[in-house]
Amino acid sequence: MVTPESLAVDIRGLNFAYPDGYMALRGVDLSIKQGERVAIVGPNGAGKSTLMLHFNGILKGEGTVRVGDLEVAGPNLKRVRAMVGMVFQNPDDQLFSPTVFEDVAYGPIYMGLSEAEVRQRVTLALQRINMEGYAFRVSHHLSLGEKKRIAIATVLAMDPHILALDEPSADLDPRSRRMLIQLLAGFPQTMVISTHDLRLVKELCPRTVILDEGCIVADGPTSILLADEVLLHAHGLERV
Amino acid sequence: MHINPFDSYRAGDSLLHRLDPRVKFSFTLAFILTISLTPAGAWPAYVLLLAFVLSASVASELGLTFVLRRAVLALPFVLAALPILLTASGQPILSIALGGWSLSVTASGLERFLSIAIKSWLSVQMAVLLTATTSLPDMLVAMRALCIPRLLVAILSLMWRYLFVLADEAMRMMRAREARSASRQGRSGGSLTWRAHVTGGMAGILFLRGYERSERIYNAMLARGFDGSIRSLPLKPLSTAERLILILVLIVLLAFLLLGRMLG
């Protein structure tokens, strides 16, 4: 029996239209349990990123989105954002400070932590991604793989319950990708990964949701969905 | 997920939308030139010019209020003309004592001020009409046809192209910042100075990326054979009807101008 309290994310009847009228999400229902790792897959333009941006209220559609025991709306937004660590697809968007330290410290400082706590959080976050020596490097000049990991550190420093990662492995070389997968596999948080990388899904996520044209067209165990060639093909994916 | 705050173009299929951009551009230039050469206080000429703008407005099918609302942009420029009220010589009609100073508004000052206000308001309306009915690529074609230096046109076109990219980038960065602007108990930390510092850093990063992007764009241009000169395909000639419209409107504007100069 799943009680609402044990759900990390609960989305009911979510519709979202962009200002130009394009319906990006149509009636999405999605529940994610605490500690679950869920992959959201689907073709380009299916609404994956749009859906992810609803987890912390950056976008607001019709319908309800709950994170933990909080509704994602108005006065709760700041607390929701402390709970959901959102890692954007392009780390250049996420890394907006001159140095790695300042970037990782942004979240904790904004949350009002003391300086000692901020420093501790930054150190811990960088340790978690095995990049302790990078604190005073210039974010701008890191390699893409390094930037991706720093982007993850910027949210780990906020100690979120849920990690929402948009295309974490896109454009990474095999070694950086492998490091990232190992890193993510070691995290205890509830995880939602939007991706095209189905091999990563197989390794990391026991559950897969297929999104197409703004609707959830399949939701089930990864081992079954990713073996269904007809289903994958119908939604712009390939069996791996 | 794109923002489009700079595009003043409003898609449509009106007479004005379909008119060749070169013709529209020439009209606008000729109109603004006519207005600036019309002397102060030539009220009947202003009424004719207003009628001209309003007819163009109607022909654009954008709605009169749309153009009038956007023309409010002219207001700050009118402020610059305010000192004329007080500095023109002539018979004072109103005196204001300000401490030890005495400021007087003269009749000729008032006339000149009102003329400038009306002139700038009319000119801006015409420019609003042009930009609302002509897409920027069309406008660039028109500029080229009117022999505006190609380098300038190329700079405008690159600016236009990458302004959106930059604005998108700024928006995505702010979104990522927002996503990490959390609080534990409903109250956020960080001093104002620190927040200003972060914002300053973001602006700096945006500048750096813009700079690096420009280098990449330049390399991509070089890779496709750019040698410093800007070339473009020849334009198709104007049709007879378009030529006729152009000549007709220019004659009308010239008549307005002559009338205005006779009255002024």
Is residue B144 scored above 60 in pLDDT?
Answer: yes
Inter-residue contact A162 to A191 (CB < 8 Å): yes
Count, residues in chain A: 240
Per-residue pLDDT, averaged over A52-71, amounts to 91
Residues 6+ apart with CB under 8 A from A218: A208, A209, A210, A225, A231, A235
Residue A8 covered by a domain: no
- What is the CATH number for A111? 3.40.50.300
Per-residue confidence (pLDDT) for residue A1, from 0 to 100: 45
Of B184, B187, B194, Cβ closest to residue A109: B194
pTM over 0.90: no
Q: Which helix (H) or strand (E) element contains residue A219?
A: strand A215-221
Percent of chain A with pLDDT over 90: 66
Q: Residue B190: list chain A partners with CB under 8 A.
A: 109-110, 112
Q: CA-to-CA distance for B73 and B64, rounded, in angstroms?
A: 15
- Residue A119 CA: distances (Å) to CA of A47, A102, A195, B9, B191: 37, 10, 32, 50, 16
Determine the residue among B174, B180, B192 to mutate to test chain A binding: the one whose Cβ has the most chain A Cβ atoms within 10 Å: B180
Q: What is the pLDDT of residue A240?
A: 82
Which among B1, B182, B209 is the nearest to A110, CB-wise? B182
Q: Domain-by-domain residue ranges, chain B?
A: 15-145+236-263
Asked if the structure places residue A1 within a domain, the reply is: no
Domain assignment of residue A22, yes or no: no
pLDDT at B188 over 60: yes
Looking at residue B157, its pLDDT comes to 80
Domain count, chain A: 1
The DSSP symbol for B257 reads H
Give the pLDDT mean for A91-96.
83
| A&B contacts, CB < 8 Å | 96
| Whole-number pLDDT of residue A34 | 94
Q: Residue A77's closest chain B neighbor by CA?
A: B182
In this structure, are strands A62-67 and A70-71 parallel, antiparallel, or unpaired? antiparallel
User: How much of chain B, in percent, has pLDDT values that exceed 70?
Assistant: 95
Tokens at B54, concatenated = 């309003």
Q: What is the mean pLDDT of chain A?
A: 90
Phi, psi of B15 (to 5 degrees): -55, -45
- Residue A19 inside a domain? The answer is no
pLDDT band at B1 (very low <50, low <70, confident <90, very high): very low
Residue A96 to residue B182, Cβ atoms within 8 A: no
User: DSSP letter at A30?
Assistant: E
Dist. CA B235–CA A68, nearest whole Å? 62
Is A158 near chain B, with CB under 8 Å? Answer: yes
Q: What is the pLDDT of residues B97-124, one digit of tens each?
A: 777 777 778 888 888 888 888 898 899 9
A218 φ, ψ (degrees, to nearest 5): -155, 145
pLDDT in tens, B16-65: 888 899 999 999 999 999 999 998 888 888 999 999 999 998 888 888 88
CB-based contact, B5 to chain A, within 8 Å: no
Quick one: pLDDT at residue B42?
87
Q: Is A22 on the interface with B (CB under 8 A)?
A: no
Q: Across the interface, do A79 and B184 touch by the CB < 8 Å criterion? A: yes
CB contact under 8 A, A98 and B205: yes
Residues of A in contact with B208 (CB under 8 A): 140
ipTM > 0.95, yes or no: no
Q: Residue range B139-147: average pLDDT?
A: 87
Task: Write the residue in B180, B185, B204 that is nearest to A81 by C-beta.
Answer: B180
Q: What is the pLDDT of residues B58-89, one digit of tens each?
A: 888 888 888 888 888 777 878 888 888 777 77
C-beta separation of A208 from A226 below 8 A: yes
pLDDT recorded at residue B15? 84
A9 located within any domain: no
pLDDT class of B247 with cuts at 50, 70, 90: very high
Q: Which of A176-180, B46-50, B161-165 has the lowest mean pLDDT?
A: B161-165
Q: Which pLDDT belongs to residue B74?
A: 72
In this structure, is residue A10 part of a structural domain? no
Q: What is the mean pLDDT of residues A146-153?
A: 92
Task: Please give the DSSP secondary-structure letter assigned to residue A135.
Answer: T
**How many CB atoms lie under 10 A from the CB of residue B91?**
9
Asked if pLDDT for residue A227 goes beyond 90, the answer is yes
Taking every pair of C-alpha atoms in chain B, what is the biggest distance, in angstroms?
Answer: 75
Cβ–Cβ gap A96/B179 under 8 Å: no
pLDDT at B91: 76
For residue B235, is pLDDT > 90? no
Domain carrying residue A210: 35-53+82-234
Locate B119 and state its tokens: 């002139």
Instruction: Report CB contact under 8 Å: A96, B205.
Output: yes
3-state secondary structure (DSSP) of residue A190: strand
For residue B180 the two structure tokens come to 């990490």
**pLDDT of B264:** 67
User: For chain A, how long is the longest CA-to-CA vector?
Assistant: 55
Return the half-sphere exposure (C-beta side, CA atoms, 13 A cut-off) of residue B199: 8
Q: Average pLDDT of A131-140? A: 86
